[in-house]
A and B are shown apart, each in its own frame.
Chain A
Amino acid sequence: MNTELIGVIATFIITIVIAIPFGKYIVKVFKGEKTILDFLIPVEKTIFRLCGIDSTKQMNWKQHLIALLSINILWFVYAFIMLLTQGSLFLNPDGNPSMSPDLSFNTAISFVVNCNLQHYSGETGLTYLTQLAVIAFLQFVSAATGIAALIVVFNAMKEKTTEGLGNFFDMFLKSITRILLPVSSIIALILVFNGTPASFAGKDTIHTLQGDTVQVSRGPAAGMIGIKHLGTNGGGWFGANSAHPLENPNYLTNMVEMIAQVLIPLALIFALGFYLNRKKMAYVIFGVMTIGMISFLIPTMIAETSGNPAITKMGIDQSGGSMEGKEVRFGASASAYWSVLTTIISTGSVNSMHDSSMPVSGTMQLLGMMTNAFYGGCGVGILNYYIFMIIAVFISGLMVGRTPEFLGRKIEAREMKIATMIALLHPFLILVGTAISSYMYTKDPSVGWLNNPGYHGFSEMLYEYTSSAANNGSGFEGLGDNNWFWNITTGFVLIIGRFLPIIGPVAIAGILARKKFIPESAGTLRTDTGTFGIMTYAVIMIIAALAFFPALVLGPLAEYFTLYHH
């Protein structure tokens, strides 16, 4: 086995080893058990007192959603105004300008919804103030929103009929103080020691060996890069994201960043097992998601490490794999692994340029975002998976001869309506968005957003909407996306693609929690078995992946067959 592969496997194993105890810790936090960070209780109490919030008040699912949506709206307004006026505010040593309204709209939304689709470049598009007070702030709160929403669903999955599903603000604040802040601080420290800047000074000037001078952007970046991964946000300080040498200086930081971005999604799966005392179910979910991840990873690894046949034909050595758009310090394997992780999880940070990936890898990256349920984003990954479980339970419940029930509650028309709508939403947003942009481009190619027409251009447009709908934030960067069309359309896709998939599962779980609990019998379908796992996997692949088959054929698959079979 080569070293690069060992590096990837080691990274994955270390992640699991950390994620299991971390999952236990998360459960303790939300069950209110003793943890080492209990010294923060006075801080939390002070925050609640200042905000006038009674953090012990139980909320039903509707109250949770109202709380969640209203604070999100506030953040959006705040972020929009800040970005629009940043040029004239303080902490702007490089003198960067304010954003245009459509770009502010897109950026504000994109960070509120944990997507971090960046239609700007950090070095010139933002100031230190907005990087910290808008971008990094939103990276914390949007991740905490996802975690809190998931804990609401966990509470609803317990074995009792109930209205009260905990207090949203309590769960939200604890997600930040007990989980996101401490862990992202550790990551930031590791990054700082490896060379990531943490300074308020403006651009630095360096003299190269050739004797030229280069202006190098910097700033208080390390802290933000920590939460960017831990919160599955993905928006980088610098335009080149984690391919940038200051954002991701070496193989060690690369490992740390890879571990950081999957850590919470993985830990939350195990947390489900500990929280509900359904460990077997958590392992099955983990298994299905891991199989999903590996089924995308293997083709990507093979494609990236075997190199580009077009370049081989030119007589260039490709023993290091396809290195176009990749960083030499990471290599093809680690870049392949990253590109799969960052797309199945809604991080969207990159350490190589996906636009330059092999067509197979491009397909896998797209599929990762299209399914959006293998590990998935902070909290929301399991929420997406929950929807597929509901559909799988419905069909397989019938197959064992009972009207379907999930964790002791009957699934009826109302829940199916919501689940179907949410499952439908993703293909709807992606395909309709891509259809509109294809139509506009076909009608008038002078709109000029495609540098590569043909299959690859199509993939770029498809990727952009997929990334938006999945709240991923990565891009096939060849697309000229900073214009009103892309800023506005992806902005709306972002909002819908974020909040409906949170509202749906919370609503279903809330409605189910109010229903009478039916104890299990020998005739009940068990949802913690391998068979049910396979069923869920099949539902995800057939509903989420197959709907995109024609689109994938016209994009990366056409590219693949043209590249290899001609």
Chain B
Amino acid sequence: MTPSQNKSLFQKELISEAFIQSFIKLNPKQMIKNPVMFTVEIGTCVMLYVCISILFNNNGSQGSLTYNVVVFFVLLLTLLFANFAEAIAEARGKAQAESLRKTREETPAKKVVDPNKMDSDHLEIIPSSQLKKNDLFFCIEGDTIPTDGEIIHGLATIDESAITGESAPVIREAGGDKSSVTGGTKVLSDRIIVKVTTEPGESFLDKMIALVEGASRQKTPNEIALTILLAGFTLVFIIVCVTLKPFADYANTPITIAALISLFVCLIPTTIGGLLSAIGIAGMDRALRANVITKSGKAVETAGDIDVLLLDKTGTITIGNRKATHFYPAHGIGEKQFIKACALSSISDETPEGKSIIELSGFSKSEFETEDPQFIKFTAETRSSGIDYEAGKIRIRKGASDSIKKLCEKAGNNFPGEIAERVKLISSNGGTPLVVCENEKVIGVIELQDIIKPGIRERFERLRKMGIKTVMVTGDNPLTAKFIAEKAGVDDFIAEAKPEDKMNYIKNEQQQGKLVAMMGDGTNDAPALAQADVGVAMNSGTQAAKEAGNMVDLDNDPTKLIEIVEIGKQLLITRGTLTTFSIANDVAKYFAIVPALFITSIPALQGLNIMNLKTPESAILSAVIFNALIIPILIPLALRGVEYKPIGASALLRRNLIIYGLGGVIVPFIGIKLIDLAVGLFF
């Protein structure tokens, strides 16, 4: 987690900024985006007019000036509270993003002037803001990386703690999937040449800040649908209030403008209307606090809908990488000889598995004296690696059993039954067998074992309760994959996965109407990331992967997906519960205001005044004051989000319906009564 994360919802400097913004946002041009609050603004203006006209010509028909002025101010407050909610959410999001951005501002960049002369002598020092896309820059030990880019040359250890909060340095190198560097991080050792991947002001972080600031914030489809519903409610109540005038005239009951507008403002869903955009911004902000940059609000929302989660085994389900645990020489091969061959095949193998083989063998690299060694790198095609030496006379290969089997059988050698047995045994115990052959003859098997992360099973259980299917993606053979899948508690797995397998799996699930999320880092993940409904690219991943996904995880933490799903759900739940609360409030408000409207001319209606409010004026004032106050009271809830509990949809609905529905009916009865006790002293 970032060091900048803070527990307090309201920091002083944020509050003062939000305070000013609440007034600026009164501009009708901005207000009109929120139809509910816009109608409140019109009502407020009408009240202002009423107050002024009473000031000049008070015939008493509209009630006392004080009463009207108080109504006006309460309505104004309602508007300001709603604006404040949006402003504080924006300010928090911005502050969070700024703290990330600050780290990368105006650092000197060593620009490579001539791409043909990439050495330290041909550099030009310019401010980082002047770096353009595709420029090259040079970084050496101690430099701060000026902007986002991709290493095209060299390798370096980098301290990313400014972004991720993680103090352990990471290695980034040219080529491969870990070639991305982020502006603001620091080079700890070695030197690299980096190609700029974004235009100034267009990095993901810049985009996110713009999203939060509202300039480019677009309403998500769900927000639009909800706004339509809320606008519908508002329209109903416009009709209710407008038609009330002729009704009252018929009944010979004059209604003051203040009472009519108060009734209207109380009935329309101002609570959710005022908090709606704050909820959306807070969702993105919460994602950012989890160190995830989202490219749109929609992505967060979609995350809440995810049905299928594709997770890479390594790093997500198992700790880091597999380790070699046993050497099993084939019949007739000496143990020592076999172990040596294993170690030899792994000398140039930089993968953690390779290193662990050397480690287990007990040899050190320097002990090997080989003649004319040629290292064979692992490729997806051969699915094996190894070494040739003595001018190719000795060829050692290690790899998956089927690829080695193919290799041996091609050379006319058979694959021993005991080895096949051993391979099966290791696999069924969740290990990964690596078969080793020398000159196309099988000489033994290395057992690699995975270590499943503690607590991961519980997390999958939680996901299952949310209705999300987890799928483990692994390069392991199906037997090993099955063992680990069962042990970790995932619902399905893709074994011996090639990049296109992921893609096909996603497409297949989507065909059935499911929404799929995945995380990836490599360039070959990019198509799948783009295909997935929620694609989270790791920040350390390649630029292609980051472009393809709709979120970027700064922590490079594969379990982050789970958190993202919960953030998405929280966002939707907060919207739903506050809408319910807002509408449920209407019951009490009706009972406060409607009797107050008519009680003077129809005294019998006292029977409807079930809250026993003191006077019509105090009843109306209490209702509008309650209506205004509930907005700031709910701001913390809107910003933090309503807690998500994976207890099944029906139970969750019951729970939220009781708390926010029933609560929404009861709370205003109590609140309005209490306010009336105070207001009743004056009116």
Contact = CB atoms under 8 A, between A and B. Distances in A.
Most buried by A among B233, B242, B650, B660: B650
Contact of A517 (B240, B513, B657): B513
Contact of A458 (B245, B247, B263, B514): B247
A553 B246 contact: no
Interface in A504-539: 516-519, 521-526, 529, 531-532, 534-535, 538
Interface string B633-652: 00000000000100011101
Most buried by B among A402, A411, A517: A402
A434 interface: yes
Interface in B153-175: none
B247 A551 contact: yes
Interface string A456-482: 001000000000000000000000000
Most buried by A among B233, B247, B661: B247
B614 to A, nearest CB: 19
A345 B243 CA distance: 27
Main SS at interface, chain A = helix
Nearest to A399: B576
A550 B304 CA distance: 40
B572 A402 contact: yes
A413 B224 contact: yes
Interface in B340-392: none
Contact of A561 (B221, B302, B512, B608): B608
Interface stretch (B323-331, B587-595, B615-623): B587-595
Contacts of B236: 423-424, 427-428, 543, 547
B649 A519 contact: no
Contacts of B580: 395, 399
A420 interface: yes
A396 B656 CA distance: 9
A525 B653 contact: yes
Nearest to A558: B602
B20 interface: no
Interface string A411-426: 1110111001101100
B605 interface: yes
Contacts of A529: 650, 653
B577 A399 contact: yes
B225 A565 contact: no
A341 B653 CA distance: 32
Contacts of A565: 604, 606-607
Contacts of B304: 401-403
A542 B226 CA distance: 17
A413 B225 contact: yes
Main SS at interface, chain B = helix
A424 B231 CA distance: 10
B247 A434 contact: yes
Given A400-B573, A402-B305, A558-B602, A438 B247 contact: yes
A435 B225 CA distance: 31
Contact of B467 (A523, A534, A561): A523
A423 B231 CA distance: 12
A70 interface: no
A348 interface: no
A523 B645 CA distance: 11
Interface stretch (B7-15, B75-83, B248-256, B668-676): B248-256
A417 B243 contact: no
Interface string B214-250: 0000000110111011011101110110111111111
B570 interface: yes
Given A400-B573, A401-B644, A519-B512, A394 B229 contact: yes
Contacts, number: 218
Given A403-B222, A417-B228, A518-B513, A431 B464 contact: no
Most buried by A among B221, B246, B514, B575: B246
B569 interface: yes
B476 interface: no
B437 to A, nearest CB: 46
A223 interface: no
A438 to B, nearest CB: 4
A435 B235 CA distance: 16
Contact of A396 (B301, B608, B653): B653
Most buried by B among A408, A532, A549: A549
A305 to B, nearest CB: 21
A519 B513 contact: yes
A431 B572 CA distance: 34
A542 B598 contact: no
Contacts of B232: 420-421, 423-424
B650 A427 contact: no
Contacts of B650: 525-526, 529, 531-532
Contact of B240 (A399, A411, A455, A547): A547
B466 interface: yes
A542 B237 CA distance: 12
Nearest to A418: B228
Contacts of A23: none
B241 to A, nearest CB: 8
A427 B575 CA distance: 26
A68 to B, nearest CB: 25
Interface string A87-114: 0000000000000000000000000000
A56 B123 CA distance: 79
Interface in A168-225: none
Nearest to B235: A424
Given A399-B653, A416-B225, A534-B657, A546 B590 contact: yes
Most buried by B among A518, A531, A549, A550: A550
Contacts of A399: 573, 576-577, 580, 652-653, 656-657, 660
Contact of B250 (A416, A438, A535, A561): A438
A538 B580 CA distance: 10
B253 to A, nearest CB: 8
Contact of A524 (B231, B649, B661): B649
Contacts of B605: 553, 557-558, 561
A396 B605 CA distance: 35
B487 interface: no
A396 B576 contact: yes
B122 interface: no
B597 interface: yes
A396 B657 contact: yes
Contacts of A403: 221-222, 301-302, 304-305, 572
Interface string A357-374: 000000000000000000
A554 B248 contact: yes
A485 interface: no
B649 A522 contact: yes
B212 to A, nearest CB: 22
Contacts of B602: 558, 561-562
A557 B244 CA distance: 15
A408 B513 CA distance: 9
Contact of B249 (A394, A442, A534): A442
Contacts of B225: 394, 404, 411-413, 415-416
Nearest to A541: B587
Contacts of B468: 521, 523
B608 A557 contact: yes
6 contacts: A398-B573, A400-B649, A519-B513, A522-B648, A534-B657, A561-B607
Closest 10 CB pairs of A and B: A523-B467, A398-B576, A401-B569, A420-B232, A522-B467, A521-B467, A399-B576, A518-B513, A435-B243, A561-B604
Interface of A: 391, 394-404, 408, 411-413, 415-417, 420-421, 423-424, 427-428, 431-432, 434-436, 438-439, 441-442, 455, 458, 516-519, 521-526, 529, 531-532, 534-535, 538, 542-543, 546-547, 549-551, 553-554, 557-558, 561-562, 564-566
Given A401-B568, A442-B249, A550-B594, 12 more contacts: A391-B229, A416-B225, A420-B229, A420-B231, A458-B247, A516-B513, A517-B513, A522-B467, A524-B649, A529-B653, A547-B240, A550-B247
